[in-house]
Amino acid sequence: MTVIAVVDYDMGNLHSACKGLTQAGVEPIVTDSAKEIDRADAVVLPGVGSFDPAIRQLRDRGLEAPIKRAIAQGKPFLGICLGLQLLFDSSAEGVEPGLGIVAGTVRAFVPEPGIAVPHMGWNQLALTQPNSLLWEGIDRDPWVYFVHSYYVAPADPAMVAATTTHGSQTVTAAIQGAALDSGCANVMAVQFHPEKSAGSGLRLLANFAANVRSRVAC
């Protein structure tokens, strides 16, 4: 059975993501154990909340090293919401350094009249990597569910797999690419919540699970 480690650091509801992965035919294990992360075939980092408390929790539990190790080994990795933002160098939401797995920063939305922050609700994606395995079998302009006040800005635009808009601002909604020294595009992460995004979100989790099962050579 394919095993996916869902990292537990007390930042968000892990069980919704686990349910979607189970439906996709893989075995998610909720864990804060470095050994279990090392043994897993893939890693999922979900998260809801603030940047600084989250990164402190990861470091206090000794989870930074196994996450980086899994990515460097080429294991498929999926970040969800805050789990996307933690991959970056720093965030406007706090002062703590991020994991530094993806070069870039996390930025706050610029206030606009009539535009609510947090950005919450259904928004349409524009796929900038339409051939990404994330989108296989998904409509070209899918609607997905967001809840966030900050967004990521990768230093390398080629990492951006999808964008969305909030008011006049176009922001990164998903990334895929190589990070650290893995040498392959095993790092995938989304700002939206796939577990709350109906058919498109469940298909994305199924696509990730299929990639883990196949362990496509990089």
Sign, CA torsion 139/155/120/164: negative
82: left (phi over 0), alpha (psi -120 to 50) or beta: alpha
Active site residues: 81, 193, 195
Q: Which residue has the tokens 């601002």?
A: 169
